């Protein structure tokens, strides 16, 4: 009798899982991650609407109507054209499909992981348009592309279900900083406008208090207690290997920090006042990197190397 009840319970769970995946409307015909590791984030497909026709302000217009110097932004430059995407807008939309310097780019931000990442939107000889799936993997957002309904892991930077499974997204260099710093560096930058076509309280943080406590809204399979779960780190992958530089470590040593990672010389520039970290190569070119919470970086890079500062 107990065995029969156990089998019945398993059957119910399987049916529930099948029903869940059927309702989400994505293609699971192929997958590179366990389907039961995908979590329902709550809002549903496009419940968090992407910005597909972004409008922009000048520095003067943004200063007057939208931005304060301390506001956080995700900055991106392509072909000498600079863009600033306010985090207070990305918190509500998570994805911006844009063109910068004539090139299609995908601006992504996961508030749960603190990760803002910019990708090349030209994938396998076509321009993909992305949306917010409402689903999560390892507490990180899963994007989907409108063309194939494949799901893409932001931090893994690749498709994890559907026809595009295994296809990589090309990560582009971007900068997490504050508005005051960015506009001084790029006085002709354009700023994503809050005229998005949606009614949102952009001056209200829907994740207020989340960054300062250790609680996760969604669990991850791997954890490490070396740092506070929400400790900010800048991480880099070179030649299939990963390394993380915690902001608390970088604050204890003079910038820039010179390092050799996977036989490649790099420099980590860190401004303690503005909490801005950038990784450059030996020729001063900015390298693609990921700024986010420690728990998120570790969940996707459990074999990561970790930089430890020597005492001053």
Question: What is the secondary structure of 168-195 as a DSSP string?
Answer: BP-EE--EEEEHHHHHHH-TT-EEE-S-
User: What pTM value is reported for the model?
Assistant: 0.91
Query: Which pLDDT belongs to residue 24?
Result: 66
Query: Which pLDDT belongs to residue 16?
Result: 42
Q: Give the Cα separation of 35 and 12 in Å (integer).
A: 16
Query: Which pLDDT belongs to residue 310?
Result: 82
In angstroms, the Cα distances linking 148 to 26, 138, 159, 163 are 9, 23, 11, 7
Query: Which pLDDT belongs to residue 25?
Result: 77
Query: Which pLDDT belongs to residue 312?
Result: 53
What is the distance of C-alpha 261 from the center of its chain? 23
Query: Which region holds residue 106: left if phi is over 0, alpha if psi is between -120 and 50, else beta?
Result: beta
Nearest to 211 by CA among 295, 143, 135: 295
Query: Which pLDDT belongs to residue 23?
Result: 47
Is-contact 38 221, C-beta < 8 A? no
Per-residue pLDDT of the chain (312 residues; tens, 9 = 90+): 544 444 344 433 333 444 445 546 798 989 999 999 999 999 999 999 999 999 999 999 999 999 999 999 999 999 999 999 999 999 999 999 999 999 999 999 999 999 999 999 999 999 999 999 999 999 999 999 999 999 999 999 999 999 999 999 999 999 999 999 999 999 999 999 999 999 999 999 999 999 999 999 999 999 999 999 999 999 999 999 999 999 999 999 999 999 999 999 999 999 999 999 999 999 999 999 999 999 999 999 999 999 999 865
Query: Which region holds residue 139: left if phi is over 0, alpha if psi is between -120 and 50, else beta?
Result: left
- Grouping H, G, I as helix, E, B as strand and the rest as coil, residue 131 is strand
Q: DSSP code of 196?
A: S
């Amino acid at each position: 009798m107990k065995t029969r009840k156990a089998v019945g319970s398993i059957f119910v769970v399987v049916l529930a899982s099948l029903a869940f995946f059927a309702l989400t409307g994505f293609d699971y015909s192929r997958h590179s991650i366990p389907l039961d590791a995908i979590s329902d984030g709550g809002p549903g497909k496009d419940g968090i609407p992407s910005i597909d026709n972004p409008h922009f302000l000048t520095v003067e217009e943004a200063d007057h109507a939208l931005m304060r110097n301390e506001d956080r932004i995700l900055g991106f430059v392509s072909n000498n054209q600079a863009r600033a995407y306010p985090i207070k807008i990305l918190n509500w939309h998570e994805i911006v499909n844009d063109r910068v310097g004539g090139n299609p780019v995908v601006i992504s931000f996961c508030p749960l992981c603190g990760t803002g990442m910019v990708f090349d939107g030209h994938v396998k000889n076509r321009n993909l348009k992305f949306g917010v799936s409402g689903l999560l993997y390892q507490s990180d957002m899963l994007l989907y592309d409108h063309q194939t309904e494949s799901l893409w892991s932001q931090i893994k930077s690749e498709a994890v279900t559907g026809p595009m499974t295994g296809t990589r997204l090309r990560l582009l260099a971007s900068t997490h900083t504050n508005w005051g710093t960015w506009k001084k560096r790029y006085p002709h930058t354009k700023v994503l406008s809050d005229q998005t076509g949606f009614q949102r309280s952009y001056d209200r943080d829907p994740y207020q208090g989340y960054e300062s406590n250790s609680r996760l809204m969604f669990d991850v399979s791997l954890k490490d207690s070396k740092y506070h779960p929400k400790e900010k780190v800048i991480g880099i992958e070179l030649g299939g290997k990963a390394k993380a530089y915690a902001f608390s470590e970088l604050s204890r040593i003079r910038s820039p920090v010179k390092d050799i990672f996977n036989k490649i010389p790099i420099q980590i520039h860190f401004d303690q006042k503005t909490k801005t970290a950038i990784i450059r190569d030996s020729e001063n070119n900015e390298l693609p990197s990921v700024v986010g919470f420690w728990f998120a970086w570790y969940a996707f890079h459990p074999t990561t190397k970790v930089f430890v500062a020597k005492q001053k």
